Chain A
Amino acid sequence: MSLKSTQLPTPTPSKSRTLRPTSLLNGRISLPKRPAGTVYRGREGMWSWVLHRITGVGIFFFLLVHILDTALVRVSPEAYNAVINTYKNPIMGLGELALVAAIGFHGLNGLRIILIDFWSVGTRNHRLMFWIVIALWIVLMLGFAPRHLMHVFGAQ
């Protein structure tokens, strides 16, 4: 037997219903842990888009710098060489690894988005295609990262 609304106990009115009338009646007040609300719990589709935008914007800024430094060769080959030489250090080497990782994900996921838009059953298979993208990306990185890191850190 559940309660009928007519049998409900009337809540004891609180004496001090001043500032926050609701919180005093009942329940513990938790301090606003996350006043801004929770992060929306999107799934593969949302997170792949977040990564796609981050990598896309990242690649864009890299390309901007890259076009500038390459254009330098027309101004002065010596200056070009000087700039390129400053890239030859481990920090830049790790940066290159990140760049390849970003382009790899962005390119593969870009193909996934094209399939979502133009393949008739693309929307029904977007989640599977996301995990295929991740698998291909891991294979790509496994092929690239070890050799690249060997170069960067001086082994033959």
Chain B
Amino acid sequence: MSTVTIEAAQTRIPERTTETTAVEDAPPGSFVVTLIIRRYIPETDDEPRWQDFDVRVLPTDRILDALHKIKWEQDGSLTFRRSCAHGICGSDAMRINGRNRLACKTLIKDLDPSKPIYVEALKGLPLEKDLVVDMEPFFEAYRQVQPFLIANSTPPGGRERTQSPVARERFDDTTKCILCAACTSSCPVFWTDGQYFGPAAIVNAHRFIFDDRDESAQVRLDILNDKEGVWRCRTTFNCSEACPRGIEITKAIKEVKQAILVGKP
């Protein structure tokens, strides 16, 4: 906390009145980064607009921390969703430097802090306010694939449905989904055709189609064997690259395609 730091920070952002207090607490190794956020407040804005914010951050801070600092210290009207802040609730997917990411899993040091960081809402879902989109079309597609275990028969032995580790492994990858919508809203097909089920719905159908305890695989395959189903996939891999859980989404979609063509392996 040398005077140099204070001066540097002040020349960088001279119009900031609260900066002096903030800088006195500035942790060593912190620096100022510019976030350019796409704002939209339906009551006052006709069009979304870009707004710059300078925030003092540590390299190990996450974009979510920067958004919190802006909301708490600079502009309380900044609106975004977050709940867990630890990559498990799926609330804070947004477009960071042009790619869908969870704000709570994106470290400043993994971006280029010498350049401004662009933050905007997910694409392809209706914009409600600032970084918040209407997730309803996304969940509607999710519900349609019947994402729950359907087993009407009496379990063998009458007590529980056991599953071998090998059978569990078959759909392990797609159990990891947190329904953040990063994948679906990264898909060029979904941007132009909102009727497309989208990667997340297919991932969650895959989760049950390949579960050997489930008895409704064929129902889901019929649902997805639709003009707006798996055949819309153009293998752009945007979904696989966006998924914060590292799910191999394009592979899951391909497996559903093949199960429709030749039946479940």
Q: Report which A residues bind B (CB closer than 8 A).
A: 1-3, 5, 8-9, 11-12, 19-23, 25-35, 37-46, 48-49, 113, 116-117, 122-124, 126-127
Assess the B25–A3 pair: CB atoms within 8 A.
Answer: yes
Known contacts A20-B45, A37-B120; decide if A43 and B237 are in contact (CB<8 Å): yes
Number of A-B contacts defined by CB within 8 Å: 140
Query: Could you say which of A1, A2, A43, A48 contacts B241, with CB atoms under 8 Å apart?
Result: A43
Known contacts A22-B39, A22-B41, A123-B254; decide if A30 and B78 are in contact (CB<8 Å): no
B261 to chain A, nearest CB (A): 10
Assess the B75–A32 pair: CB atoms within 8 A.
Answer: no
Assess the A40–B95 pair: CB atoms within 8 A.
Answer: yes
Q: Give bound CA distance, A23 to B37, whole Å.
A: 12
A-B complex: 3 closest residue pairs judged by Cβ atoms:
A45-B237, A41-B98, A123-B251
Q: Give bound CA distance, A46 to B235, whole Å.
A: 8
Assess the A40–B248 pair: CB atoms within 8 A.
Answer: no
In the assembled complex, 30 residue pairs joining A and B whose CB atoms fall closer than 8 Å, in A order, are A3-B25, A5-B72, A9-B18, A11-B18, A11-B73, A20-B44, A20-B45, A21-B41, A25-B75, A25-B77, A27-B52, A28-B52, A29-B52, A37-B38, A38-B98, A39-B98, A40-B98, A40-B99, A40-B238, A41-B98, A41-B99, A42-B238, A42-B241, A43-B238, A46-B236, A49-B235, A113-B235, A116-B250, A122-B254, A123-B235
Which partner residue on chain A sits nearest B124 by CB separation? A40
- The reply to whether the CB of B76 lies closer than 8 angstroms to some CB of chain A is yes
- The reply to whether the CB of B32 lies closer than 8 angstroms to some CB of chain A is no
- The reply to whether the CB of B49 lies closer than 8 angstroms to some CB of chain A is yes
Q: Give bound CA distance, A37 to B118, whole Å.
A: 10
Assess the A22–B75 pair: CB atoms within 8 A.
Answer: yes
Q: Give bound CA distance, A123 to B237, whole Å.
A: 9
A21 to chain B, nearest CB (A): 6
Assess the A49–B73 pair: CB atoms within 8 A.
Answer: no
Main secondary structure of the interface of B (DSSP, over half): mixed
- The reply to whether the CB of B5 lies closer than 8 angstroms to some CB of chain A is no
Q: Give bound CA distance, A51 to B236, whole Å.
A: 11
Q: Give bound CA distance, A11 to B75, whole Å.
A: 8
Residues of B within 8 A of A27 (CB): 51-54, 74-75
Q: Give bound CA distance, A42 to B230, whole Å.
A: 20
Query: Could you say which of B36, B49, B235 contacts A116, with CB atoms under 8 Å apart?
Result: B235
Residues of B within 8 A of A31 (CB): 49-50
- Among A2, A33, A35, max chain B CB count under 10 A is at A2
Which partner residue on chain B sits nearest A4 by CB separation? B25
Assess the A19–B44 pair: CB atoms within 8 A.
Answer: yes
- The reply to whether the CB of B114 lies closer than 8 angstroms to some CB of chain A is no
Query: Could you say which of B15, B78, B95, B254 contacts A117, with CB atoms under 8 Å apart?
Result: B254
Assess the A3–B73 pair: CB atoms within 8 A.
Answer: yes
Known A-B contacts: A9-B73, A25-B74, A32-B48. Give 10 more (CB < 8 A): A1-B27, A26-B53, A29-B51, A35-B49, A37-B120, A40-B123, A42-B186, A45-B235, A113-B235, A123-B248
Residues in B204-246 with C-beta less than 8 Å from chain A = 234-238, 240-241
Q: Give bound CA distance, A21 to B41, whole Å.
A: 9
Q: Give bound CA distance, A31 to B17, whole Å.
A: 23
Q: Give bound CA distance, A29 to B47, whole Å.
A: 14
Residues of A within 8 A of B99 (CB): 40-41
Query: Could you say which of A20, A37, A49, A116 contacts B95, with CB atoms under 8 Å apart?
Result: A37
- Among A39, A49, A127, max chain B CB count under 10 A is at A49
B49 to chain A, nearest CB (A): 5
Which partner residue on chain B sits nearest A12 by CB separation? B17
- The reply to whether the CB of B188 lies closer than 8 angstroms to some CB of chain A is yes
- The reply to whether the CB of B109 lies closer than 8 angstroms to some CB of chain A is no
Which partner residue on chain B sits nearest A27 by CB separation? B53
Residues of A within 8 A of B10 (CB): none
